[in-house]
Chain A
Amino acid sequence: MQLKTKGKPHNIFYPVVGRVTKDHTANAEILLIEGEIPTDAITRFSLVLTTLDIDKAIDKPSVYAIPGFEHLSEGDIVLVNTSGMINTLYRVNSNHNFLLFTERCNSNCLMCSQPPKNRDDTSYFFDTYKQLIPLIPKNCFELGITGGEPTLLGERFFQLLELLASNLPETEIHCLTNGRTFAWPHITNRLGELSYNRLMLGIPIYSDYYQLHDYVVQAKGAFDQTIQGLYNLAKNNIRVELRIVLHKQTIPRLAQLAKFIYKNLPFAEHITFMGLEYQGYTPHNIDKLWIDPVDYSDILSEAINYLSDYGMNVSIYNSQLCTTPKNIWQFARKSISDWKNIYLDECNKCAVLNECGGLFQSNAAKHSAYIKAIMQE
């Protein structure tokens, strides 16, 4: 899935965010031109993108000599940088749109799929999303917020949430955060004051034992902060989901973790157990992380059945049915975002191909040794 393209910039002095269209009568900010330039119509638009290689300037900020627009649909929202780089920020035909709030993070998880950067990018993203959010279609069903650690935006984090709440009141907002920031009650209370009940925070918890959790996230004191954060969030009636990545470090205490969750965090609205993505730091740390899903099937089904027996809402993400015990298939979801979801050749022979969530593209290089088509009985 292509999410960016590049051309030669002309007269662009600051990044521009806008909806794209090929129809010069449409309500949009950016006109895409592949053929002739409709000279008088372009005045309405703030920017022009074209595949034409015109080195003579058109009287308009523009990017020319772009390889193609096949990856863009009418109404998609892009960010055009001064360098001529064009990033797709929002795709109208996808249910997996997300806003990356920052690439900074106060943790450094062993299996991070998008390793954090230390550069302060917060005002860049803030300015981008301030322009983007009002342009997103009001019927957008769900929108993700990721990072890095989004709460590191500080006060701007709340300003963006307020903007989302007022512009997209019907949209479910799912925000991934390590939850540590919420250990400070005044910050959590600030979030509570928004009474934003379309907002759900997805917070990772990797062990019931602090040392193991801190090791996985590579941050001393993180476990205590996350747990305190979860309690502060619960006090403020903020909805939370707990997220557990399944790997060699989290598997041994998984049953204890399930118990810890039910006993101490019964207010969690959803608990997801997630297969490992072979991306970011993971290949580097693979010796510390890899365990074949088939080898953790018993312990996973114990943890899942325990939570579900007590009425907790549980899901398995990023798993393949052929490596998952049948008694927990009912919890497996097709969770992988469309643009990074693949199936193997073997899958073409499989009777449950349509029910199976498949693999991350990145896992083509590393996946269970037991992936095998399931034959119809």
Chain B
Amino acid sequence: MLTDSLPNENATRKFKEFEYFGSKSDFSYYLLPFRFHNINEQREILVNEIGDFLIVPTGTAELIIERKINPIAYPELYGDLIANFFISEQPIPSLIDVLATRYRTKKSFLDYFTSLHIFVISLRCEHTCHYCQVSRVTSDKSRYDMSKEHIDAGIEMMMQSPNPHVTMEFQGGEALLAFDNIIYAVEKAKEAAIMRKKTVSYVICTNLAPLTEEMLIYFKENNILISTSLDGPDFIHNKNRHKPHSNSYQYAVNGIIKCREELGAENVSALLTTTNLSLQYPEEIVDEYVRLGFKNMFLRPISPYGFATRNEGKNKYVTQEFLEFYKKALKKIIQYNLDGHFIREDYASIILKKMLTPFPVGYVDLQSPAGLINSVIVFNYDGEIYATDESRMLAEMKDFTFKLGTLGINTYEEVFYGKKSLELSEAFLNESLPGCSDCAFQSYCGADPVFNYTTQGDIYGHRPTSSFCQRNMEIMRHLIELMDSDKKIEKIFRTWITGKN
């Protein structure tokens, strides 16, 4: 074969015209898998199997499918379609291996299996947040703190993960009320990690109210990351996070400042929970994050447990309200960037990274196969094992659908590869879910069987009435429209992806 391409001593080196190098003279072509979606009245998006997209005039998909595109009438589009693997002049494109490699790369967040192990280290809390259905204001440690036996069994299971790098995340209740438990767990995990040749990252989710100097020293010594909550300015935060006889906002802000000083700003992050009240104040919330010096904020989509019910009409309305909130806040954030102040929105950044880069993005709440089991597992305070954080909330309402086993009783195989996991796997790929299977945004989106079950009664869900779909489809459409309408915004989005500006 190779010798064919060797120069021939008698070969002529006369130059040939462009047309000579085309492989087809009859203008026929084959379709490669791609999907499309309307962006607005003028524009539509075509997305191929690996998430690369073209934004084109409305009606282009139809022309392509009806074989009305050819290199003479549409030289630029034709080149775009061939070069980006939308159509091919051969039944199987000669560069199909490139497509395969890129597909494998995109899905390589799956390579090592479960990384995030959530330990609900205590259910006790001193806050009475009105949207929280699980915490208990109590000092009854024996009943609501995770037992040492369960911690040991949880660590043992975590060490059996095929993943060489695991994350141990402590949640509550208020995790810091059980600081003794955290120390016990971290010390145990450190020992086990050495023996099992794993690296472990530690994260504590906390409202920071119980923070002490002693804790800070321990966080620093062990490179523990702090994830806290900040719902916006004081009048929102205090209303959302009620703490009897005290100012929850002030605790959070003071805690954030102290943690930044001791641990470095990059080791402290804050999450925003959107409530009915917050929906009225998108700009104020963004201003507050900027005022406190955050370089990023996470406009988290509403969790179904605070808002959504099985009432379709209500879900739709609430999601609509959230989307309006999201867009206003995003606009404000973009404006800060246009004015030269870098701050990025994390949910958009995750989606943009999927759209604009060739790299894998594993984000447990928006991936396919879904994050549950594949990327995250939850060990509850009472030793029960759940597929996701939301599943244990369901369990508080006496629904044990997503319980996978019990620490100390079930083996790793029974939990991760058992009957329940298998059943869930039927519904955790959006590639095979009705509606998602032909959606243009499939490769940017994800599957969430727990959400489907909670809001629609089964793990498969029904896309036309799903608020998960309603929310993501609109956010993605909106992001595309923003980029397409203004190159300056696309440039800002690049800085969100790379963190460099």
Contacts and interface: CB of A to CB of B under 8 A. Distances in A.
Given A262-B358, A310-B498, A118 B7 contact: yes
Nearest to A262: B358
B357 A309 contact: no
Contacts of B52: 263
A208 B81 CA distance: 11
A214 B80 contact: no
Nearest to A120: B9
Given A105-B7, A152-B7, A224-B94, A215 B83 contact: no
A29 B13 CA distance: 41
A210 to B, nearest CB: 7
Given A210-B82, A211-B22, A104 B95 contact: no
A266 interface: yes
B376 to A, nearest CB: 28
16 contacts: A108-B13, A119-B9, A120-B9, A152-B7, A187-B2, A209-B79, A209-B83, A211-B18, A212-B79, A220-B20, A231-B98, A231-B101, A262-B357, A263-B102, A263-B358, A310-B498
Contact of A106 (B7, B76, B95): B7
Interface string A99-129: 0000011101010000110111000000000
A87 interface: no
B156 to A, nearest CB: 37
Interface in A269-311: 285, 305, 309-311
B6 A106 contact: yes
A256 interface: yes
Contacts of A260: 83-84
Interface residues of A, number: 44
Which of A180, A211, A256, A262: most chain B CB closer than 10 A?
Answer: A211
Nearest to A230: B98
B83 A208 contact: yes
Contacts of B71: 211
B83 A118 contact: no
A184 interface: yes
Nearest to B89: A210
A285 B18 CA distance: 13
Contacts of A231: 97-98, 101
A66 interface: no
Given A118-B10, A305-B491, 16 more contacts: A104-B7, A106-B7, A108-B15, A119-B9, A152-B6, A208-B83, A210-B23, A211-B18, A215-B17, A215-B20, A215-B21, A256-B83, A263-B52, A264-B98, A285-B15, A309-B495
A262 B102 CA distance: 12
B261 to A, nearest CB: 30
Interface string B81-119: 011100000000011011001100000000000000000
Interface of A: 104-106, 108, 110, 115-116, 118-120, 152, 180-181, 184, 187, 207-212, 214-215, 218-220, 224-225, 227-228, 231, 252-253, 256, 260, 262-264, 266, 285, 305, 309-311
A118 to B, nearest CB: 5
A264 B18 contact: no
A342 to B, nearest CB: 29
B328 interface: no
B245 interface: no
Nearest to A180: B5
Contacts of A224: 94-95
A208 B83 CA distance: 6
B21 A118 contact: no
Contact of A264 (B8, B11, B358, B495): B358
A309 B498 contact: yes
Contacts of A256: 79-80, 83
Contact of B102 (A119, A187, A208, A264): A264
Interface in B443-495: 491, 494-495
Given A253-B79, A309-B494, A106 B5 contact: yes
A311 B358 contact: no
Nearest to B101: A231
A215 B18 contact: yes
A253 B497 CA distance: 25
Contacts of A104: 7
A339 B300 CA distance: 61
B271 to A, nearest CB: 27
Contacts of B84: 208, 260
